Structure 1
Amino acid sequence: MDYIELVRGMLFSPVETFQKVKTADLGDALKYFLILVLINTVLSVIISLVVLSSMWVVYSSIYESLGIVVPATIGAGMVAIAILMIFGSIFILFIAAAWLHLWVYILGGRKGYIETLKAIAYGATPELLIGWIPFIGFIGSIWSFILTILGVRELQEMSTGKAAAAAIIAVVVLAIIIILVAAFLFIAYMEMMQVPMNLY
């Protein structure tokens, strides 16, 4: 199955396509994911350059007065961001797969971590293809979340309910952890700010 066929399958017939990629190994999934990440990165950088170019008139005089060569700075910055996006996406893929697989395993999934990773890698197709588009990119994220559930169901051979529960629990628990950490840091920051005031 070539990559274009895979993309088409994931978008329009995901269940059948997930069944076909059951025999795919980790390398196949990573290659597919990396190709889509590269496409997403290039398009995201282009959009960023368009936005930055529109701001050029406003900020160019400020940068020039500081002796900063803006085109060179932006170019180097975009390259650095692109590299970080690529490696960051791969890193997040492995971490997200491990986190999701924890809940998949708890709910009965026994086909292994790699199958969960494949579900996320292939399921990310819509997000990576349209996630770079301003204002509507979130549709790709929702679509990918649904595809990931279908992927977990097919690759882990679980029921739809258990696959959905694993994905939802993973997201909800992570959100709660982030909120708690943010609240803790905020409280700690506020307490630190009050110390100098009490000295007076």
Structure 2
Amino acid sequence: MDLVEKVKGFLMEPTKTFDASKEDTLGEALKYYITLAAIYSAISALLFAFVFTMSGSMMGFGDLGRMFGVGAGIAGAIAIFLMVWIFLIIGIFIIGAIVHIFVYIVGGRKGITQTIKAFMYGQTPVLLFGWIPLIGPIAGIWALVLEVLGIRQLHELTTGRAILAVLLPIIIIMVIIFIAVFAAFMFTIDSTGGMGY
């Protein structure tokens, strides 16, 4: 299955496409993910360069402002491309490893490779449409659904167990953040001797 067919499959017929991808190697999944991540990173970099170039020409310095904007925009775009691309590649392995702990807890025994593949393939909507304002959050939800389907199909779990495996780490992280913010707020109130009213 070539890249375009795979993209269409994960977007239109995810269950069938995940089933067809069970035997994919991690290398094949990584090649797919790296390609889509490069497209996402390039679009992000181009948007950055456009905004920076426009702001440089609006600084009121005429040609000098445009030159500054274009030069800094190109350098910044290259840096943004590399940072986003590397972050996406490293991040998918970290996320996959964390989620795999929960996949294992709920009964998934097909190996960490299947979990990472589920997340690489599941990120398809975000990598293609995540940069579009208003569409980005919808793409994020769509990716979450695909990740659940991927875990279900690749680990041969029930839908409920797959949902638990994907959502539990998110819930735990949100609870930890809430507790940290609440503790910091309480510490601030305590150290200042009250709310200051």
TM over 0.5: yes
Q: Is 1:40 matched with 2:17?
A: no
CA shift, 1:73, in A, is 2.1
| In structure 1, distance between residues paired with 2:60 and 2:179 | 41
Tell me the SS of whatever aligns to 1:22. coil
Match of residue 195 from structure 2: none
Total equivalences in the alignment: 190
Q: Is 1:99 matched with 2:131?
A: no
| In structure 2, distance between residues paired with 1:43 and 1:69 | 21
The TM-score, its normalising length taken from structure 1, stands at 0.86
| In structure 2, distance between residues paired with 1:166 and 1:39 | 29
Task: Please give the per-residue CA displacement for 1:76-135, whole angstroms capped at 9, x wherever unaligned.
Answer: 122111101111001110110011111111111111111000000001000100001122
Contact 1:126 1:141 in 2 (8 A): yes
Task: Please give the per-residue CA displacement for 1:161-194, whole angstroms capped at 9, x wherever unaligned.
Answer: 1001111112111222233334455666x48x85
Contact 1:60 1:70 in 2 (8 A): no
Unaligned runs of 5+ in 1: 195-200
Match of residue 149 from structure 2: 150
Greater relative contact order: 1 or 2 (C-alpha under 8 angstroms, separation 6 or more)?
Answer: 1
Say which is worse superposed, 73-82 or 115-124, in terms of deviation.
Answer: 73-82
Contact 2:52 2:70 in 1 (8 A): no
CA shift, 1:137, in A, is 0.9
Q: Are the structure 2 counterparts of residues 173 and 59 from structure 1 closer, same or farther at C-alpha, using a change threshold of 3 Å?
A: farther
Q: What RMSD in Å do the two structures reach over aligned CA positions?
A: 2.4
Match of residue 85 from structure 2: 86
Unaligned runs of 5+ in 2: 193-197
